[in-house]
Amino acid sequence: PHGGGSAEARLRLPDPDLTPFAAYGRTKNMNAMFGYELARRVKGITVNAMHPGIIGGTGLGRNARGALKKLGEELAETAPGPEVGADTAVWLATASEVDGETGGFYVNRRRVRTAEHTRDRERCGRLWRESAQLVGSFEGW
């Protein structure tokens, strides 16, 4: 969400040109975009998205090759575990200091500004509509 990944918000499935690494970046962007759109559409609940950081043991680099695969293996050995990755999500759900804050994106308990294309209202709305078509509906939202 900080510039990595495609600015494309379309859900083209299947997409034969989508590599695992590009899919990761695209879905990270879509997570932020969906959160922004959900926060605009609903009132009375808090909606925030977050990035857990690089977490070991997730298998993120399992499809990588060459130097990228080696980097992934090294990160898997040294990166923090799931409890560190879950910290910001648990904090967002329970901390009084963010009570009532909505429509944000957080990294390490800090609200950050994501890439401009992830905040584009038209793209976020299009992602929402295409998601609704794929799953049926978000009736009432």
CA-to-CA dists, residue 77 to 29, 69, 73, 83, angstroms: 26, 13, 7, 15
The b/e string for 87-97 (b: 16+ C-beta within 10 A; e otherwise) is: bbeeebeeeee
Q: Are 126 and 9 in contact (CB under 8 A)?
A: yes
**Residue 24 among the catalytic residues:** yes
Name the active-site residue from 8, 11, 21, 24. 24
Structure tokens, 122 = 């038209």
Active-site residues, by number, are 24
